[in-house]
Amino acid sequence: MLREDTLILMLQLSSDPDLAGYFNALRTLLSIAYAFALHGYLILVLLGFMVYATGLSDGTAKSLVLFGVFLFFAGPMTANFLAGFIGVDPITEADATAAFLSFFGMLEGEFLSLLVLFGDGVMAICIVVGAILYFNPTSNDLKSRGHSLMVRGVILAAVLSFVYVSSIL
């Protein structure tokens, strides 16, 4: 027969949570956040400019761009601060890239290139629809809306050309 104190000790050991798995999950989550802070700011800025070009919601577009800029400056520091606060090792760029790859199934560059390809389509649609509305006006309101769509499409083209040039370098 087991003694009473041995039985209590066995019950305590079996009910303790597995903290190693918990810390590994937190480290993976923070690695993904770090990777998104390193390269996700550009994703948010591109999404913001695409929303702005369509004219669907200017407030949402500005919020996305501002959050992307904030993430660029404060994201990596915040992720490493949280990692130190939780008690895991500081996150490196290699850990962040591996976590991003395992979470999304593609590298940051591939994800960004798909987003740029989608942005090219949005830009082309905005410019073509804007030109149709501008050069075939049935009312003055449609002419101004067409001009606005063309200008927003050209602004998106400038941002996309910056991404093309920065990805080459």
Does 2 fall in a domain? Answer: no
Q: How far apart are CA 110 and CA 5, in angstroms?
A: 58
Our count of domains for the chain comes to 1
Which amino acid makes up residue 6? Answer: T
Does 33 fall in a domain? Answer: yes
Q: What distance, in Å, lies between the first and last C-alpha atoms of the chain?
A: 73
Does 157 fall in a domain? Answer: yes
Domain that holds residue 98: 20-168
Q: Provide the CA 97 distance to its chain's centre, in angstroms.
A: 14
Does 154 fall in a domain? Answer: yes
Render each residue's pLDDT in the chain as its tens digit; 169 residues.
445 555 455 555 555 556 667 777 787 788 888 888 887 788 889 999 999 999 888 899 999 999 999 988 888 888 888 888 877 778 888 888 888 888 888 888 888 889 999 999 999 999 999 999 999 878 888 888 999 999 999 999 999 998 888 877 6
Does 14 fall in a domain? Answer: no
Task: Check: pTM over 0.95? Answer yes or no.
Answer: no
Q: Let me know if 22 is exposed, middle or buried by CB neighbors in 10 A (0-12, 13-18, 19+).
A: exposed
Q: Let me know if 10 is exposed, middle or buried by CB neighbors in 10 A (0-12, 13-18, 19+).
A: exposed
Q: How far apart are CA 164 and CA 153, in angstroms?
A: 16
